[in-house]
Structure 1
């Protein structure tokens, strides 16, 4: 085995990500707490693997499979918390899974030769929850009513990434379990070492990609109806009044409650009239407002970004350059020449 206990290194990297994620404001307390729990489980698993295979501490072997069973349901419930409150009943799927884990632990204390079957169960759990996350993703961006509008695109990218990671974990975990059963601990330990190398690379990659990726939402073909033609102007006027579109904490659910129109009808009206989803529609308003302020005021770009409803300066610059083909500062300078 590689002399450096890579799972320990991986745990340290993930712990660093946890400290960063701990301060991230997702605008959703439930999601934030679930994310913290998920990262905590991942860190603990990495530490357990490092202690067992890096230092030969066999006393912790019982923790690894038990903790692994929490990964799937926690990842699924994290994304589910951004959907409509009525979908909370679906949390029962994850809750039942979590509730069954203590029962499984009790049975393991009585049956010590079930580790292979437990690894199979863990692999199936990863696949099961990866599929559930894909099902959530297929509902479309406007179903994320509890997510800040400017975070929806990135959230959908993360849903795909997590589903892929769970699938990879299923394959890796299944392969290691087979190696233990067929070749013994020596070969399996080597596989764990290389899996840890992959884990370090994956952790670093996720940190970098998570900061740079900007997901592209699905394009919806416009199909105008009379109802949409009547609703869209109401929504538009409400958003423009007192610059409500610039509220960085605005979600589709909050918009629906304030305007007293069901979220689904708002989504359909905007899609039919503009060909955009709600997130893109409001983002367009924010960018137009920022462009107008750049021309009419001497306020700093950072201040204009904040007044237009953008949470981060990097996101504002990226979106502005995508739409206007230049940076905010260059846009202002060119207009004044």
Structure 2
């Protein structure tokens, strides 16, 4: 009886994720294009692995490296587009040119050239993606604060996938060089690729669930230069804009939107807030939200959950943590103390 290869199930899941991503209109177009390219490449790799292992199509082995090499660049460009200093088409052209050069080398009649190129490429993009893990929420200017945990979870998953690709391809190359048995190397390649893709999809499901119950990541404090008069003026404009518009109550507010409203680069807004207040933009915005929550708790009878949503928080744990950080009490205890 004909059975469906496990790798094809992975391809189906990747395509479902891609279809859902198409509808994520809140993401910048460049980010969606990068992630769609990554998921499509992952789906194609799963399809080719199934054709190799289940049906013995040798042509899949020749095509697979040219698809697998897309994983690193597309993932990087997707996350890169979420960062405030994205350079758009210039970055895309630079990475596309490098990828075409790599593919040209893979076509050379040199033994194990595709394996070596894939290893070098995976290591390069593993390094580039790992650097994003050091960024705080302000650097991801196009990501609303409540979505940062999911973005970090996806980033961790992609980093681990590329690590598995490096490990698998390294073992494949060693096996091919020492054993000299192409069939053994081919089976090892297919099995390793299927395992890596399966673990990757499991991480995409598991990591967000784990991180959702933890506290938000706080950027490590670093020494900053003193604030200038321009910094104070910019932060004053920001505070006036937030107070007058109530924009802080929008749970999908991003640094990019704030910067556009102020007519300033996102990096300048982030730097000014950091130098003037000693905290990042996310925490500065949360200060407005908590002060609004204090007012509602003091003067009204709305349930705490409705107060949380009205202020722009969508997570009860985040609301309680930020409220306690600023006021020293939980929302419930604060309301009780004001009614005493």
Name the TM-score class by shorter chain.
Answer: 0.7 to 0.9
Hey, what does 2:194 align to over in structure 1?
Answer: 196
Structure 1 residue 19: Cα displacement: 4.3
User: Which runs of 5 or more structure 2 residues have no equivalent in the other structure?
Assistant: none
Deviations 1:62-120 (A, max 9, x none): 3211101111110111111123466233333222134447x639x73xx6x54611111
Contact map agreement 2:249 2:289 (CA 8 A) in 1: yes
Matched, 1:118 2:114: yes
User: Aligned partners of 2:42 and 2:72: how far apart in 1?
Assistant: 11
Superposed, 1:188-337 pairs within 5 Å as 189-190=187-188, 192-193=190-191, 196-213=194-211, 214-221=216-223, 224-227=226-229, 228-290=231-293, 292-294=295-297, 296-299=299-302, 304-310=307-313, 313=314, 316-324=315-323
Structure 1 residue 139: Cα displacement: 5.9
Answer with 3-12 or 259-268: which moved more. 3-12
TM (normalized to structure 1)?
Answer: 0.79
Contact map agreement 1:133 1:159 (CA 8 A) in 2: yes
Hey, what does 1:95 align to over in structure 2?
Answer: 96
Superposed, 1:54-203 pairs within 5 Å as 54-84=54-84, 87-88=87-88, 89-100=90-101, 104=104, 108=107, 114=110, 116-138=112-134, 140-152=136-148, 154-156=150-152, 158-183=154-179, 184=181, 185-186=183-184, 189-190=187-188, 192-193=190-191, 196-203=194-201
In structure 2, relative to structure 1, the CA distance for the partners of 1:15 and 1:284 (3 Å cut) is farther
Deviations 1:283-332 (A, max 9, x none): 3333443454355445566654543334xx4xx22311333469877876
Contact map agreement 1:73 1:129 (CA 8 A) in 2: yes
Query: What is the RMSD computed on CA atoms of the aligned residues?
Result: 3.5
In structure 2, relative to structure 1, the CA distance for the partners of 1:332 and 1:93 (3 Å cut) is farther
In structure 2, relative to structure 1, the CA distance for the partners of 1:331 and 1:65 (3 Å cut) is farther
Contact map agreement 1:18 1:36 (CA 8 A) in 2: yes
User: Aligned partners of 2:51 and 2:143: how far apart in 1?
Assistant: 38
Structure 1 residue 178: Cα displacement: 2.8
Contact map agreement 1:153 1:217 (CA 8 A) in 2: no
Aligned residues: 326
User: Aligned partners of 2:148 and 2:138: how far apart in 1?
Assistant: 8
Corresponding residue SS for 2:142: coil
User: Aligned partners of 1:329 and 1:22: how far apart in 2?
Assistant: 40
Structure 1 residue 160: Cα displacement: 4.8
